[in-house]
Each structure stands twice: as structure tokens, then as C-alpha cells.
Structure 1
């Protein structure tokens, strides 16, 4: 009998040869794939990537291989787009060809291709159209949704007032308020902050568990329709998962920035007092008259860079992109951090600086490089709602309170902990003092 070690070595060599032959065919058989680091059999480039700080690894690879490059996660080919020009050419100029949704094993296991975020093809088109139409009907971009946000902001202010200047963790307060805005849109009403059903929902969102376990699988459906109970429930879950955690984290990180730089908060207070005063709640129409506050809100989202490598896309057919061929179905990541932290557009991008969005006269300055919600056909469907929430909740709180850090501002660390697809902010405490 052949020794086990020899058999294992022989199998390893065979698998290695097959892998490299397959990679060679992909790179030279039908066209030239983008460049990238040499991949190992079975595991691909996993050992060459820092999975705890993926954006750092990808930045180094983009410097070496250029703005369009490849890596292998296990044996799956992944194309990365780095820099504004490459991202724009793909997601906007060739938006239809890059409109597929790439797969991630964890989310595929949970979503199973259902819902808005991780669906593809005709299913995605129908569900996305359905979601946007109904969000607009419920008031997104209109006065009615603004009133819902203003209402929730008032409840949040009262809850903050009840802290009576004592230190507290803002995460729970903010996630409850933002989730309640989604509840008012989806269910037609908000919940009391102590409501048991509401707290259970929040727990499920924060734990990222599967929502809506009550789906009745024997329920009769139209087999040709994408408006199944599973798809609609998954779409609703997507709205809560994406809408609640993203904006509440942005607000929580934003308040930490203001605690670090009290002079910025002071300038926002001055602008609020001059434009809005204390007698009425802020509205979106105020934003055009508050260039400094508007610049700070944009800079918060740019600096926070919450989803640095973006959400995976996929090409819908074999396409020629620049001088390369990208095969149909290939997963493509738009490296958003490379755009939001472009040093030519945003000097010293790792530092928080409201001047990134102000011109020499102090007027607000737009930037095509501001793409925290991605861009193109698969831009986040709730980006308009998120921006309204960010603006109205933050200005309403600062209209009523002064933020007080629990430690000396110079000791506040703005560094977030990176993981595979996002940044995680450490818990902190603060106090709010009535103005």
C-alpha cells in the first residue's frame, strides 16, 4: 500500500496543477484578466490579506497592481476597483453591466438571494422598484417623512433630557430612535421605547439574526411573481438592518467627533441659533442656509467611511473593461475608501476637516467623490432617508443640548476597529447638558 504521506502529496500536486491551469485559462484563454498577486491553490490569496483590516491590504495591492486588480477568496475570482475614475467607469458609465449582486457566503446563507440587497436580475428590479415606489408613497423625500423624523427627534430629546446630565452610552438611545423611524414608515406608527415587542425587534436587529421567523411556507403564492412573502419579509428586514444600524452608528461616531473637537460643535450651535433659533424644530429647508453644519455632516460620513470596501457587485455578462476581460458572474468590489480618502481631493484624508466641503468663501462645496452610499444603479435605496435622519436628528439634539465628554477631549480616540467589511466603533459615554 502506498504511504499516506505520498498519496497526500500527490493529491496536493494534482489540485495545485488544476488550480493554476484554471487560473491560466481565465487569464489567457478568453482574454486578459486584471493583474493581481499570485494565488495559492484552494485558499487563494487569503494568507496575503489581513482579514481584520481588509482595506489596508487592498490599498497596498492597488498601489502595486493598479486601480483594477484581482484577488482570490478561496478559489473565487474577485475584481477590485480602486479610485474614483475606475469606480465611475464601472458603476455609472457601464452601470447595467455591473448591476449584478456579488455573493458573500454568510449573507447568501441568511438571505438566500431574497430581498433588495442580495437579489439579482428580474427579482432585484421588481423588488427595488417596489421598495422605492412605496417609500416615496410613504413620504420619502417629502414633507410627511420629514414630520415622522421630527416627531421621533422630539421623543429622543425628551429621553436625553431625562438623563439629567448623567453619563450614558448613546448607542441604545440612537438605535431605538432610528429604528422607530423605520417602524413609522413600515408599520404606520412608532413604538414606546420600553415596548417589549419593540425591544425584541431591536435585539434581533443588533444581533443580526434572521427576522420574521413567522413566515408561512405553505401559503399559496403566484410562482411567477417576485412579491412572495419570503421576498417581501426579507426586503423589510433589509430595510431595518441597513437603515437602523448604519445611520445610528454614523450618529454615534459623529457625536464622538464633536466631543473630540468642541470648537466644531460651538460653530454648529452658532449656526443653529442664527438660522433656526430655539422656538421651532429644525427642518430640511434650513440646511441650505447652514453651510458649515452641512459640511460637517458630509465630512462625518466621509471620515467615518463605514463600509470601506463597499457591497459586492457582479457583472451580468462577459465584458471588456479597460484593457481587461471580466467574465460573467465575477464578483466586483468598488473600493469606496479609495474614493472617500483620495488625498488629492481631500488633503490629509485621515484627519477630520470640515473644510473638505467648504469653498474659500465658506459656502458648501459638493464633491463627486462623496459616495458613502456607493453610486450607480445599485446605490443604497434608502440614501435619501438616511441623509434626512442624519441631518434632522443631529441638529435637533444640538439645538437643545451641549455635548459633554466623559474624559478630556485630547484623550478621545477616534480610531474604529476594522473588520472584514466595516469599521466597529468602541463604546463610549457622554453627558448632555441643556442649553
Structure 2
């Protein structure tokens, strides 16, 4: 019996089938060609996800960015979900855009997750416009007032250097855990700047509580599902609030409760009768500025919620950058023990005693500086740099880029560039030493990014890195556990980078032998 091909049912089925196939083709045509046609060429994005999944193959995506730079050149388009981001991948092009035309790229694309855990667009990391400009300027000004770049700040850091010595010297057993000592030292420096006191005695529990709180975003951002939801609107919408929104809101409530308590306690100590007197810390300076503005009728610019978020920003920027780089530097050295021999040779020749090394010694220690530079380059903390947004229509490589388009100064690719850093996967401080044995300046080393959103704590971080690392190696020789104890013990710390959003330090132990 023959089928009736002209029956209404069969005709309807054909019609829906044709419409379905046509819709799929139109959708794919839009995704794979139409939406990309006016942007620089780049890797083909997947529908919904864009190119995000490439960041996890292999983790955390450095090789993908390097491969695309070789394939598409210094500028290409990378899709985060359904949003295009223009990736700037060479130092010269970054200078042309983020430095010479800095105002065009000063804004940041602020995700919903940041608004959730901050209570709005606050702080300086996740704000734009007047809020970002005024509070960044205020923070930098007060950091200078508190001694940044002066002996006062150096003295505070050297106190922590000596505390590290006491902790390591008093340790029992052949090996010691390295990261916690630096964690505590860096935290003390930050808290002195913010609240004017160190985490010692009864205050030590306060630091442990704060550290537990601050680790929450690391766990959230490192979770692939959360990371995708932060960047893909469809996933963000379909995930239950208990899975996506609630963790960020819980973090906000816990963090605000902690800092509000600290701020309230500190507020009782501030002399508001003399608003122009010298300030001892950032929070005191902020509270006085807040009171001045309130007297002038401005109750919004310096708000309570902004102060909490500035505390969060200064903690995130100060603790993460310095502690991570310091502990990764020691990790790299444990894989390259001949580097330590060169460090000790220079220290013995230039310093030659157990005195504390200061910034006055910096120019006389080129290899130490080269070691720190190479540690920063290889640590390369952020696989995908800050996602900026253009403040106006602009042109990049001949392509018209509309206002609000995402643009990224991809510093991780710059610091892995084979032309500037041959054999870039090899840890080699000598690449920063010239033929005369002097420190060689390489402009492409930009671990603190560049442009108007360059890390505001860069000066402090550089001072801490030099004083902590130089003094540590002047006092100790570091050895791997496995070679000294038994093959069953752990070896040097892993150098695997497995976060999709930010590189974190490993907890590791080593054997320290006092040199002086």
C-alpha cells in the first residue's frame, strides 16, 4: 500500500522539518559567521560557551592563548559566552592601546557575581567612572602617606622578615611548611596599612578567620561550573540560585560582618574632633574623609559599603599577589637548585653577613632581582587578564570596535612570548642578566599589568618581594625533602597550574639549613 505523500499530516511534518533545519542553519550561520564578521578573526566559538571551554584544555589555557596568537596574530577575538573580547597579545600593541589611548580602555566589564558579593559596583577592582577614579586616587595617596617607597614601610616589612626567621628557627623536625609563614607576614603588612595593627597574640585567630573567608572566592572562581556561569548568561540563568547566587551572597554577608566589626571597633579610636590630624592607617583616613564629606552634604561617595569593599580589594590584591609569587619563587628554586648556588654566591660576595638586607642593597644584587623577575614571569598569576570595556567607539587593527566591547591586555601571553623569552617554559633568571653581569630591563615583563588599571599596590608588592625573598635566601639554604629523608617522602612542590581563573600556591614543605 502506497503512502499518501500529499496527506495533511505528512505535509505538516515536512513543513516543521524544513523549518527546524532552516532554524538550525540560520542559528549556526549567525553564531559561526554573522556575529563574527565585523571583529578581528579568532578561534571559532562554540554556541553558548564561546571559547571558554578551551581554558580548561589544558588547564588553565595558557597554551591555547599562545597557539591562537601564533595563528591569528597580535589581535584576535575571543568569545566569552556570547560576548566578544578583543585580545591584545603583544607588548607593542598593548602600549598602543592601553597606554597611549588609556582612557578608551579604562572601564571594566563587571559580572553579576561581583555585584552579588559586593552589594553593588563598589571598591576599585569592580567599579568604573567616578567611584573607581576617586577611590583609586585616595588609596594611592594614602599608601604614599603611610610610607610606601620610604623607610617607614620598609621598617614594617623587615619586622615581618624577622618574625619569619623566628618561626623557621623554632620549627621542630627536619622539614617545615613554607607558605604559612609568608602568608602571616604579608597579612601583617596589609593589616597595619588598613587598621594599624599586626596579627599577634590573641589577634592571630582573627587572621585565621579572615583567611578562611578570603579563600571562598578562590574556591568559587576555581569551580568550572561557577566559572562558566559567571561568563555564560544562559548557564547563569538556568542554575538554581542555591548553586550560583547563594554562595556569593553568603560570602558577602560573612565578609561584611567581619570587616564591619573591625571598622566599628576602629571607629571608636578615631578623633573626629580633629579631621586634619595625621592618620595612622587607611581606615582612619577613610572615616575622616567620610565625615568631612558628610558635613558638606555628600553621604554617598565615601559610604560604609564602599569602605568594606576597599578593605576586600586591598586584601585580595596585597595577599594574593605577594604570597603567591613568593611561594612559587621558592617552588621554582626547589626544581632548579643550581639557581640557589648563584643566589648564595652573590649574597656572600655583596652582603657577606647576617645583617638585614634593605632596598639600598637592591642595585648591588642583579642576580637576586633577575631571580625575582623570572619568578614573576613564570608564576604568571592570571591566565586571562582583566576584562576591560571600551568607553567609546574605537578602531583596532582596522576594525571598528563599538563602545562597550570587551578588550583584554593579555599579559600572560606577552610573558610567554618565545621571541622575547626563548624557551619560555624553562625557569632561567639569566635571561634578565646582560653580557656585563648587570640586570637587564625587559619591557615585556608586566606582571602587574599596564595602563590606568595597573595594580595600585605594585610599589608595595615589589618592595615586599625583594625584602622577603632576598633576606630569606641570605639566611637559609633550601633543600628538597625527598633527597634528604627517603623516597617515600614528597619531592619538590608541584608546578602544575590547574585553576581556570587564577594561579594559587601549593602547600609544601622543605628542609631549611641556616647559613649564618
Task: Determine if the TM-score, normalized by the shorter chain, exceeds 0.5.
Answer: yes
Once residues 65 and 17 of structure 2 are traced to their aligned partners in structure 1, the CA distance between those partners, rounded to angstroms, is: 33
Taking a change above 3 Å as real, the CA distance of residues 348 and 46 of structure 1, as seen in their structure-2 partners, is: closer
- Residue 85 of structure 2 aligns to a residue in which SS? strand
Equivalent residues of 2:60, 2:383 under 8 A apart:
no
Taking a change above 3 Å as real, the CA distance of residues 39 and 300 of structure 1, as seen in their structure-2 partners, is: closer
Counterpart in the other structure of 2:335:
260
Once residues 392 and 302 of structure 1 are traced to their aligned partners in structure 2, the CA distance between those partners, rounded to angstroms, is: 18
Counterpart in the other structure of 1:389:
464
Deviates more, 1:168-177 or 1:265-274: 265-274
Counterpart in the other structure of 2:495:
415
- Residue 207 of structure 1 aligns to a residue in which SS? helix
Counterpart in the other structure of 1:196:
205
Taking a change above 3 Å as real, the CA distance of residues 85 and 9 of structure 1, as seen in their structure-2 partners, is: farther
Counterpart in the other structure of 1:167:
175
Structure 1: 5+ residue runs without aligned partners? none
How far the C-alpha of 1:16 sits from its partner, in A, is 7.3
Please give the per-residue CA displacement for 1:20-39, whole angstroms capped at 9, x wherever unaligned: 558867556xxx32112333
How far the C-alpha of 1:329 sits from its partner, in A, is 1.4
Equivalent residue runs for 1:25-424 within 5 Å: 32-47=38-53, 50=56, 52-111=59-118, 112-164=120-172, 166-192=174-200, 195-208=204-217, 209-210=251-252, 211-213=255-257, 215=260, 225-408=300-483, 412=492, 415-424=495-504
Equivalent residues of 1:68, 1:81 under 8 A apart:
yes
Taking a change above 3 Å as real, the CA distance of residues 156 and 16 of structure 1, as seen in their structure-2 partners, is: farther
Once residues 387 and 168 of structure 1 are traced to their aligned partners in structure 2, the CA distance between those partners, rounded to angstroms, is: 26
How far the C-alpha of 1:173 sits from its partner, in A, is 1.6
Equivalent residues of 1:310, 1:421 under 8 A apart:
no
How far the C-alpha of 1:415 sits from its partner, in A, is 2.6
Once residues 16 and 72 of structure 1 are traced to their aligned partners in structure 2, the CA distance between those partners, rounded to angstroms, is: 20
Once residues 136 and 96 of structure 1 are traced to their aligned partners in structure 2, the CA distance between those partners, rounded to angstroms, is: 24
How far the C-alpha of 1:8 sits from its partner, in A, is 11
Please give the per-residue CA displacement for 1:147-172, whole angstroms capped at 9, x wherever unaligned: 11011111111011111453232222
- Residue 56 of structure 2 aligns to a residue in which SS? coil
Deviates more, 1:164-173 or 1:182-191: 164-173
Over aligned residues, Cα RMSD in angstroms? 3.0
Once residues 256 and 175 of structure 1 are traced to their aligned partners in structure 2, the CA distance between those partners, rounded to angstroms, is: 15
Equivalent residues of 2:55, 2:62 under 8 A apart:
no
Please give the per-residue CA displacement for 1:27-65, whole angstroms capped at 9, x wherever unaligned: 56xxx3211233344333345553632222222222222
How far the C-alpha of 1:249 sits from its partner, in A, is 1.2
Once residues 510 and 306 of structure 2 are traced to their aligned partners in structure 1, the CA distance between those partners, rounded to angstroms, is: 40
Once residues 154 and 382 of structure 1 are traced to their aligned partners in structure 2, the CA distance between those partners, rounded to angstroms, is: 23
Taking a change above 3 Å as real, the CA distance of residues 324 and 276 of structure 1, as seen in their structure-2 partners, is: same
Once residues 158 and 19 of structure 1 are traced to their aligned partners in structure 2, the CA distance between those partners, rounded to angstroms, is: 64
Once residues 247 and 317 of structure 1 are traced to their aligned partners in structure 2, the CA distance between those partners, rounded to angstroms, is: 35
Deviates more, 1:43-52 or 1:414-423: 43-52
Deviates more, 1:353-362 or 1:158-167: 158-167
Deviates more, 1:418-427 or 1:376-385: 418-427
How far the C-alpha of 1:191 sits from its partner, in A, is 1.5
Greater fraction helix: 2
Once residues 370 and 431 of structure 1 are traced to their aligned partners in structure 2, the CA distance between those partners, rounded to angstroms, is: 31
Once residues 368 and 239 of structure 1 are traced to their aligned partners in structure 2, the CA distance between those partners, rounded to angstroms, is: 26
Equivalent residues of 1:82, 1:338 under 8 A apart:
yes
Please give the per-residue CA displacement for 1:92-125, whole angstroms capped at 9, x wherever unaligned: 1211111111234443432332111111111110
Once residues 237 and 89 of structure 1 are traced to their aligned partners in structure 2, the CA distance between those partners, rounded to angstroms, is: 32
Q: Highest Rg: 1 or 2? A: 2
- Residue 104 of structure 2 aligns to a residue in which SS? coil
What is the TM-score when the length of structure 2 is the normalising length?
0.76
Once residues 79 and 45 of structure 1 are traced to their aligned partners in structure 2, the CA distance between those partners, rounded to angstroms, is: 13
Once residues 411 and 311 of structure 2 are traced to their aligned partners in structure 1, the CA distance between those partners, rounded to angstroms, is: 26
Equivalent residues of 1:416, 1:426 under 8 A apart:
no
Deviates more, 1:366-375 or 1:65-74: 65-74
Equivalent residues of 2:481, 2:492 under 8 A apart:
no
How far the C-alpha of 1:427 sits from its partner, in A, is 2.9
Once residues 335 and 55 of structure 2 are traced to their aligned partners in structure 1, the CA distance between those partners, rounded to angstroms, is: 32
Once residues 241 and 107 of structure 1 are traced to their aligned partners in structure 2, the CA distance between those partners, rounded to angstroms, is: 13
Equivalent residues of 1:16, 1:41 under 8 A apart:
no
How far the C-alpha of 1:18 sits from its partner, in A, is 6.3
Once residues 140 and 19 of structure 1 are traced to their aligned partners in structure 2, the CA distance between those partners, rounded to angstroms, is: 54
Deviates more, 1:67-76 or 1:354-363: 67-76
